[in-house]
Structure 1
Amino acid sequence: MPLDIDAAAAALLDARRSGTRLDALPEGARPGSEAEAYAVQDAVARVLGPVAGWKVGAPSATATPARAALHADTIFETDELPASLFHRIGAEAEIAYRFGRDLPPEAGPYDREAVLAAVATLHPAIEIADTRFTVFGAVDAPSQRADQQNHGVLVLGPGLTEWRGLDPVSQPVRLTIDGTILHDHAGGNSAVDPVRLLVWLANEGARSLGGIKAGQVVTTGSCTGTDFVEAPTRIVAEFPGLGSVTLAIG
């Protein structure tokens, strides 16, 4: 039986609008493959409006990356958000790249240097992992991918224009929750090299939604894992040489 993409998208969109959580996607509307998961994810994205950014990550240095399109209503440059925005609060310290020019799919393929040449600024970032499902991580992987790969919000710190001297593979990072340092190390991204993720996104991952566009920001996966916390909370992600970003949720 073919996947009912419209029913899957409608269920996820209703959960977003109403705040009601899903135990699972409806029968007949549960993606069984990565391609089906992206078809649902893209259907949701087209309803939510213009793509303002992307999240991309990979579980290892050689694994195929995964992505989700992000929208303006979940990308912030602020230091405070209300707890009512969240079902779960999974804190992650990330490095984000804002693009200064388009990378249209038809003009590719792009190599590493071509992708980096299109980047305008580098940002320290906090992503909050969240879910439209009742229990975080309890549904199958394709359903999680369809649900914007467990994206809640992305909070950006100030952009750095002179970023070329930074090495994201060895970049120091510190994550502090309510005054307690939980992580303090170098690197830490499960994908190892975030730039590989950007190249994949430019050549493959963003293709179905028109490619990477100028102004979009791409966050490249957690350097600290995911720490689930309860509100009220204060999260600080520091990347020495890059900058820091703070988020209070209350």
Structure 2
Amino acid sequence: MPTTIETVRDALVKARRDRSLAEIASLPVPATLSEGLKAQAAVGEALGLAEAGWKVGIAEDGTAVAGLMPGPWLAPGEVYEGAIGAELRIEIEIALRLARDVPFRPGQPWSRAELLACCDKAYLGIEIVESRLANWSGNVAFPLWLADAMGHGGYLIGPELDIATLDDLTGLGCFISLNGVTIYDQPAVHGNGDPMTPFLAWANRQSDDLGSLKAGQIVTTGSLCGGVLSPGKGEVVTRLSPLGTVTLTLR
């Protein structure tokens, strides 16, 4: 009989290959966050996904978590193709590029300054959240959400930013419009206060089940606007005021 990890892996692999959605009720829930991460790693291995980037976060119990971002990596103005029936959410973020490896080193925690010294670029990044799980919003156990790479769909790399932007979000605003209609316009706020907090937590994680932080990878630091539901498809304008604008098309 297949294990929980194998069952979840097979369902998510099929959904990604078929550009379809898996029903939550048909899936077992990984027993722990660690098991959810192992299921995610199994999906990535089965699909041969590149470890090109990571979205990092902190679970409610304080555990550091991450989701693999293999692509698609899009440039501003390009088209993101969503699966039929999938819910699409937009997140405005600050992303960092690793200039060198950040090895797993339990017992020797990385400091914020050390971690930033491993990065050479910061960008305005736009994540498209597109879960392989149908009707997931408010209805998915977090270990299963982890197995689905926290709903990562694709990522747009926008203009380069000063890395010092991470030190103070005061005065920044997040704006999103769809087909000329404003759907979000609020001050930029990070759920952990300091955008480096989840990245630092993942660098100092207690186990290395998922993958490594390596030179050339992009690491997101978390949304500054939450996950903004797109009410439809079309032309999207996103802006981290006054620093930069990224446009895209949802299709």
State TM-score, norm by structure 2.
0.85
Alignment of 1:118-157 (within 5 A): 118-137=118-137, 138-157=139-158
Q: Conserved in 2, the CA contact under 8 Å of 1:88 and 1:228? A: yes
Q: 1:208 to 1:169 in 2, by over 3 A?
A: farther
- Structure 2: state its 5+ residue gaps: none
Contact between 1:55 and 1:221, CA under 8 Å: does it hold in 2? yes
The one-letter code matched in structure 2 to 1:216 is Q
**Displacement after TM superposition at 1:157 (Å):** 0.2
Aligned partners of 2:29 and 2:141 also within 8 Å: no
Q: Is the 8 A contact 2:198 2:222 kept in 1?
A: no
For 1:45-194, list aligned pairs within 5 A.
45-47=44-46, 48-58=48-58, 63-71=62-70, 73-85=71-83, 87-106=86-105, 108-137=108-137, 138-160=139-161, 162-164=162-164, 167-170=167-170, 172-178=172-178, 179-194=180-195
Alignment check: 8 A CA contact 2:158 2:245 kept: yes
Identity %: 29
Stretches of structure 1 that go unaligned for 5 or more consecutive residues are none
Q: 1:178-203: CA deviations, max 9, x gaps?
A: 23444444431112111111111212
Q: What is the rounded CA distance, in whole Å, between the counterparts of 1:76 and 1:163 in structure 2? A: 21
Q: How does 1:4-15 map to 2 (within 5 A)?
A: 4-15=4-15
Helix, strand or coil at the partner of 1:204:
coil
AA matched with 1:100: A
- Whole-Å separation in 2 of the counterparts to 1:92 and 1:145: 18
Give the alignment's TM-score, normalised by structure 1.
0.85
Q: Deviations over 1:61-87 (max 9, x none)?
A: x9444311111x322224221444562
User: Residue 185 and residue 133 in structure 1: after superposition, are their counterparts in 2 closer, same or farther (change >3 A)?
Assistant: closer
Kept after mapping to 2: 8 A contact 1:25/1:143: no
Tell me which residue corresponds to 1:221: 222
